[in-house]
Structure 1
Amino acid sequence: MRSKMLALILFVIMDLVIISYSIAKVPDWVKNLDSSQKYPVNLYLSGFGVATGPISEATGLAQESARGEISRIIVVSIKSAIATLREEKNERYSQELSSITQSTTSLQNIKGINIENYSEGDQRNATVYAVAYVSRADLRRMYAQEKQNLIQQINTIIKDAQMYESKSETMDAVNKYLSLY
């Protein structure tokens, strides 16, 4: 009898240890869903997502939601469509310009995003949590390089336009300048 009681107590203690271990494994970003000690705000941009359903679908949705949060913070693409009407009469140029501007957020534009997942439940009905994070320092370096590349492209276009101007190819020069907008 005493050995059965001892076995039962040992079994209960093991269960409590296993339960407390599994609870301890839940990441802090799952508990908080808006912050993480592992990814502090001063060092990382982070986004959080959660979805429920079949695990493969829920994982994809949670990850996209987490990426989307970061994307909304840092990347907005602005597209502009310009239509021009140019006329030349008696050595006089006239031009009419109209434009449409559209801004969108694109998830593909952000490099260096990392994602962690945590799931609860079974394969058919899981709740999946995702955290997307990217180092602020890495983003600064990446965007500084992108800025330098854009400046170089702009300077090349201006140089080409000035070359057309020097050759008195006014329309080609105007087209080059307009391509900057």
Structure 2
Amino acid sequence: MFHFALQEEGPDAIGTLCGGAVNVFIEPYLPRPMLLIVGGGHIGRPLAELARMVGYDVQVVDLLAERADRPQLALDTITERTYVVLISEDHVTDEQALRDVLPAPAAYIGMIGSRRKIGVILEHLRADGFSEEQLARVCAPIGLDLGGREPAEIALAILAEIEMTRHGGSGRPRHKSD
């Protein structure tokens, strides 16, 4: 809220002769964050649903049309407000998607997988010239350790990590926070 005096001089004056005052309320418009999910399978579906409930625009990329909003990545849609999750059903797709999104300005890039899978993929990217700075952007394995093992529970852990990143949270339980 801003106050302006429509006068030549004085507090909040804007240099006019009209007289009076005006209060202006300014509400910045920020577009909704985008969650880009590569892989619309058993974890991608509940992740998309949860993310929509939290307020994300969601795009799911999958080769199977019934599981996707689009069949391939649209790299030109990735902005600083895009959170990318690589959870396809094979390491080849995840690796190629990671190669594609690493140069993009995404706020977050996370990839599911075992430590072995992640290590192999990162070694491939190193060998092909990706920098350590680029590779350090990858959150993998993805998600907070909430203990759940079912697809919806894994999706919740992934979204919790993204929300922690987005809002600068600590990930600690609130009752244990100072």
Name the structure with the higher helix share. Answer: 1
Q: Would you say same fold, with TM above 0.5?
A: no
Question: Which of structures 1 and 2 has the bigger CA Rg?
Answer: 1
User: What TM-score, normalized by structure 1, do the two folds share?
Assistant: 0.22
